[in-house]
Amino acid sequence: MTSTFTSTSRRTETVRRPRDVGRTAARNLIVRALRRAGLHHVLRGQPCIVGLVVPHPQDRPDFVEAARAMLRTLSHDALANEFDRFDDAFEVVEFDSKPKRPKAAEDAVRATLASRARVVAVAGDPADFPTVFRVAADAIVTPDLVDVRALEGALHAVFGSKPPGDLIDAALGLPLQTIGMLVKPGRSLGQVVRRLRRFKDGAAAAPVTARQRREHPTLDDLHGLGEAAEWGQSMARDFADYRAGRLTWADMDRGILVSGPPGTGKTTFARALASTCMVPIHVHSLARWQAKGHLDDLLKAMRGAFEDAKKDAPCILFVDEIDAFGDRETLSGEHEQYCREVINAFLECLDGAEGREGVVVVGATNLPDKIDAAIRRPGRLDRHVVIPLPDTEARKGILRHHLGDDLADADLSDAAERLEGASGAVIEQVVRNARRRARSERRPLAIGDLGVALPTRLRLSDADFRRACIHEAGHAVIGTLLSLAAGKVPTQVRVFREVSVDGAAGVTACHRVGGVMRTRLAYLAEIVGLLAGMAAEEIVLGEHTEGAGGSDRSDLHQATMLAAAMEASVGFGRNIAYLAPADDAELLDRLRSDPSLRRTVNRTLAKCRDRARTMLEANGPALDALAQMLEACGSASRGEILDIVLAGGSDPVPPPDAGEGGPA
């Protein structure tokens, strides 16, 4: 027997069921967005001015009609009758990005706002709302993308019964207009599902503009994310199976830690992940929760964020700068109890007394080593992926993404090469500056604008480039040999021909192995690895340059902080007394004021550098081979590094401990 859609509503019902699934879903999303923004007075029929940002053009008509139907219903409420002195109780308008007569449009908006009790406007971008509207508005909100919850509610409202899972799966991701056109009472279920799937295959899908791709990208639109993109695409498939009932929550990843240098796109990744998975995203940070007030207010805000996400499941909960929570093993001083309570509360939220089914937590950090180990235990943020600085092809893709339809036929290879070592954020700023230059001269964007906007860069001489290759090869060889002891594995080495005025000529990315307790030997092994670049320069070229130090987060800075922490903070020195917290600023102050500590730290650093020299001299062929690869290719992967080190006959080993002050 052929299944059909029928309404279960009885003739005696006084409430008339809606007929259009698309508009009903749009109404559900509007109500959700208003509640989330705290605009409850709008739903009570009180005077309001609200903007709705709906990026997809094909969805806007349904949101306009849904808003109109919602306000029409509110106009019949008793509360709404208080506003009958207006010419009309409400108005719904749609703003175009480029009105033909801006002044006339502004005047019309003023007149509408003055004569209506309730005004809702729909636009594709926040910038499309006229200035007078933005100033007067209670808020401008962006409804979520159509998700399972909105579709289920709309279908249930129209048909009066729970919709089948294959219908939800087929409709999800299509424009509301298409859903409303195809999903109607009385039609064959199989026929509707087949037509929906045909539309999903792209036969009649609405084209996405370059501007929409820039402002609301999916993972397919982004470049240079590496393993993070692969995980995100896998998560999108899991979300689809979860919504369709083919996968249980127990089988899904609950969270992920995303790390990488500043500006590599960790926040953009989280938003694109939500778009790709077609779920809403809740963006938070410890700083945002702290802004609510004292400890009780902070904890209330944190728990409230998780509760809101659970109500909105399935969804993404993004926590930026997650290293701000700190590590309980290094807490000290007057704020120790405060920080400990915050971390404990966050762990409770991650676990959830009643679970957090459907909520995937994404944490982002520039400093993964600063995160409490318990946050990364199984069931929490147990997966860790690194977003690296983009390579040449990725930089070309990022440029093209931000340029959109501009310079469509231009060759971006030269610009991508000159942006070597730049992050995604820097590349976006380059495009923004190029557009600003073209706008100031009232003309279209030209390839020359892009060239002028590129940051000032210095091209290394052949000798300096070779030195940089030797330096990074030293880090990678020693890092690989001492990976078991240090608990850190080199994952990629890159060296740059051109560098910014204050930029580094190379970088060796490392991944810290989860679950490794850091012993005294682990600290010493990490210091040896940090000083291996300096040691490699000395062995091959006779002396080292200033590149190992000179700034925060430099090799010398990190090695010094580790050596100072061994003596003054974590009980790995001659004395076990606690003198200072393992905080860079506190340790530097202690070093400046304590000559004895300074001498001990300097002795540890010198012995670790000597140990790096000894190990590199014993592994000269591996050092030479990796440096030559970097000269030829500019980069080396984890597998290539390991192959070169193992080819030299050495295996990763723990360093020998030669007593006080560091290894011999």
Residues marked active site are found at 472
71-75 long-range contacts, Cβ below 8 Å, gap at least 24? 71/118, 71/120, 74/43, 74/44, 74/45, 74/118, 75/45
**Structure-block tokens of residue 155:** 């279908």
Torsion angle defined by CA atoms of residues 84, 87, 89 and 92, in that order, rounded to the nearest 10 degrees: -170
45 close to 76: Cβ distance less than 8 angstroms: no
3-state per-residue secondary structure call for 228-283: HHHHHHHHHHHHHHHHCCCCCHHHCCCEEEEECCCCCCHHHHHHHHHHHHCCCEEE
Phi first, then psi: give them for residue 516, nearest 5 degrees: -85, 115
Whether 401 contacts 213, CB under 8 Å:
yes
Collapsed DSSP state (helix, strand, coil) of residue 358: coil
Number of continuous H segments (helices) and E segments (strands) in the chain: 28, 14
Distance CA 299, CA 329 (A): 21
3-state secondary structure of 92: strand
Q: Is 423 helix (H, G, I), strand (E, B) or coil?
A: coil
Name residue, tokens 């127990």: 250
d(CA 655, CA 76): 79
Alpha carbon of residue 324 to chain centroid: 16
The dihedral over CA atoms of 550, 556, 561, 566, expressed in degrees to the nearest 10, equals -160
User: Whole-angstrom Cα distance, residue 660 to residue 143?
Assistant: 62
Cβ atoms of residues 447 and 407 within 8 Å:
yes
CB 256, CB 291: distance < 8 Å: no
